[in-house]
Structure 1
Amino acid sequence: MKNIVIFSLILQVTSLAQNYEKLPSTIPVCSRNHPKLSDCILNSVKILQPRLVNGDLGSGLQVPSLEPLHISEISYGENNGLKIHLLNLKIHGTSKFKIEKFRVNFKDLKMDIILHLPRLELTGQYRLKFKFFNQLIDNDGDYMATFENSQIRASMKAHRYLKNGVEYAKIDPLDIKFNRGKITNFRLKNLFSENPLMNEIVHSLITNSPDYMTKNIQPKVNAVFSKIATEIAGKILEGYPLEELFPY
C-alpha cells in the first residue's frame, strides 16, 4: 500500500511538471549550448518575421500584428498650452524591419537588438491645440506622415522562476529607443483650412524643423513601442518553459 501511495505521488508531481502548453512547431528553437546562440536565434527571428505580419505564430499563439501596427493614442502636453493627441494610428512598414545587430546572453537572460525600418507610413487622426503668433489654434483632422530609415534599439532583461517545479522566464518591460529617421511627408488635414498660406508655413516648419516636437513626444513614443514589444516577447518567452524554448 505504501508503494502505491508513493507511486501515485510521483505521477501527480510528474503531471504537474508537464502541465504546460507545447511550443508551436512553427517556432524554431535553439539549444542553450549552441556555440553561436545569437546567430541561431537571429535565424529563428528571420523565419518568424513573415508570421509577425498578422501576428499568427501558429497553434493558436497570437501576438499583436505588425502590418499595420495599431496604436490607439499618443498624447503630449506642455504648461504653455501645447497639446498633441494622435489617435487611431496605423503604421505600415513595421514588418519589413531589417536586423542590424543582435546579441543574446542566455546565462543572464539578456538581449540587445537594433532594427532598421526602411520606410514607415503613418495614418490616423490628430487633435492639436497651441498658440501661433498669439492666435489660439484648436484643430482636429486626419494625420499622415512618412518616415524613412527609422531605427529601433531594444534591450530586454528576464528573470528565472519556478512554477510547479518547471523553470520559466519573466521579462521586464523592454527598454526601447525609437529614432524616426527622415520625415519625407507630413500632413495635418484641416489645419488652417481657411488660410492656405499659413497652412503651408506651419507644415514647412514641422517638416523641416521637427526636432523640438519629436524630442518632447519621444518618451511617449518609446513607451508605446515598449508596451507592444513587451507583449510580443512575453507571449513567446513567458508562455513556455525555458527547456522548451532553449533545450539542452
Structure 2
Amino acid sequence: MYFKILVVLLLGASVGYSKRLPMPPYLKACARNRPDFDECCLRSGKAAIPTLIKGDKKYDIPNMLPLVIPIIKLESGPDFSLTVKDLHVYGLQTAELLKLKMDLNNKKLYAQVLINRLELVGPYDINGRILVIPLQGKGDLNVTIDGVTADYNSDFVLKQKEGREHMAVTNSRTSIVVKKAYLHLTNLFNGNKELGETTNKALNDNWEQVLDALRPVITETITKLVNSIADGLMGHISYEDMFSEK
C-alpha cells in the first residue's frame, strides 16, 4: 500500500549557521584511535540521553517531555486519510540506547534504541478503512505502544565551518519492531457508541496490521527526532572535539 506522509516537527535544530561550542558536560569525547572506541561512544550516548530528552537550548535541542508534533497527515490514494494535529508524544524519557556504532572511516552511523513505552495523544480526523475496518470520525486519538525497538542508520559528511570540520547526517532511515500496541479513538461515526466500541475492539484485535498502516509515520517521526538531536550537536561541536586522534 502506498502512503503519502506529512510529519511536521518543530524541534528547533539549527539550520545554516551554528556557533561553535565545546562539548557539553553530559557528553564525553572519544578518541577515534582508542581500542574501546565503540564502547566509549555507547557509554557516552547512554549517559547523555536523559539530559538530551529534557532539551538543551544552547545546542538547539528542545525539551521533548513531551514531544509535540504540530501536524501529521497520512494518506493512501483517495480512499484513506488520517490527520492528527497538536499530537503529544509522552514517554521518551523511557528511551534506552542499546547499541551505537560510529564507522568513521566509511562515514556511517548506527544506533539501536529501545523506548519502553510511548503514548500518542491528540485530536484526529479520519476517513477510509484499515484492512476491512471502516473508519470515519473526528475525536481524540490515543495510541499506547509498549516496547519500541528502533534501528537508526545514516551516513554523514564533513563540512567546513569556522575553519573546523563538522559532521552532518545524510541519507538517514529507521526501522522499528513493536512488542504491543493499544488504540482508542473517541467519537467514531458521529458518536455512535455501539459502532465505536465495536470498531475500537476490531482495531485492537488486529493491532499488528493496524500498526503497519501507522508504521511510516512512526519511523519518519523517530528519524526526524534523531536527526534533530544529531544536527543540533554536530552543528555546534567540531568533529575534532568529538573524536580527537588522541
- Residue 173 of structure 1 deviates from its aligned partner by 4.5
Letter in 1 for 2:111: I
Q: Are residues 104 and 241 of structure 1, via their aligned partners in 2, closer, same or farther at CA, if it must alter by over 3 Å?
A: same
Q: For the residues of structure 2 that align with 1:164 and 1:69, how far apart are their CA atoms?
A: 32
Q: For the residues of structure 1 that align with 2:160 and 2:52, how far apart are their CA atoms?
A: 29
Q: For the residues of structure 2 that align with 1:204 and 1:223, how far apart are their CA atoms?
A: 27
Provide, for residues 80-138 of structure 1, a one-character-per-residue CA deviation record: whole Å limited to 9, x for no partner: 52211122111111221123332221222322111111111221111111269xxx864
Provide, for residues 116-161 of structure 1, a one-character-per-residue CA deviation record: whole Å limited to 9, x for no partner: 11111221111111269xxx86421111121111111101211123
Structure 2, unaligned runs of 5 or more: 1-18
Q: For the residues of structure 2 that align with 1:238 and 1:171, how far apart are their CA atoms?
A: 10
With a CA cutoff of 8 Å and minimum separation of 6, indicate the structure with the bigger relative contact order.
Answer: 2
Q: Is the 8 A contact 2:46 2:96 kept in 1?
A: no
Provide, for residues 171-201 of structure 1, a one-character-per-residue CA deviation record: whole Å limited to 9, x for no partner: 1142112334311x32111114543221111
Q: For the residues of structure 2 that align with 1:49 and 1:29, how far apart are their CA atoms?
A: 15
Q: How does 1:156-195 map to 2 (within 5 A)?
A: 156-183=154-181, 185-192=182-189, 194-195=191-192
2:77 corresponds, among 64, 76, 79, to 79
Q: For the residues of structure 1 that align with 2:20 and 2:116, how far apart are their CA atoms?
A: 39
Q: Are residues 78 and 162 of structure 1, via their aligned partners in 2, closer, same or farther at CA, if it must alter by over 3 Å?
A: closer
Q: For the residues of structure 2 that align with 1:81 and 1:211, how far apart are their CA atoms?
A: 21
1:50 partner SS? helix
Specify the alignment match of 1:243 in structure 2.
Answer: 240
Letter in 2 for 1:130: G
Normalization by structure 2: what TM-score? 0.81
2:79 partner SS? coil
1:225 corresponds, among 204, 216, 222, to 222
2:49 partner SS? helix
- Count of paired positions: 226
Specify the alignment match of 1:64 in structure 2.
Answer: 62
Specify the alignment match of 1:10 in structure 2.
Answer: none
Q: How does 1:65-214 map to 2 (within 5 A)?
A: 65-130=63-128, 138-183=136-181, 185-192=182-189, 194-214=191-211
Letter in 1 for 2:31: S
Q: Are residues 141 and 103 of structure 1, via their aligned partners in 2, closer, same or farther at CA, if it must alter by over 3 Å?
A: same
Structure 1: which 4+ aligned runs deviate by more than 6 Å? none
Specify the alignment match of 1:50 in structure 2.
Answer: 50
Q: Is the 8 A contact 2:80 2:129 kept in 1?
A: yes
Structure 1, unaligned runs of 5 or more: 1-18
Q: Which has the higher strand share?
A: 2
Provide, for residues 15-66 of structure 1, a one-character-per-residue CA deviation record: whole Å limited to 9, x for no partner: xxxx943333332111111211111011111221221232127xx2231333
What CA RMSD, in Å, does the superposition of the two structures yield over aligned residues? 2.6
Q: Is the 8 A contact 2:82 2:125 kept in 1?
A: yes
Q: For the residues of structure 2 that align with 1:194 and 1:167, how far apart are their CA atoms?
A: 57
Q: For the residues of structure 1 that align with 2:91 and 2:195, how far apart are their CA atoms?
A: 31
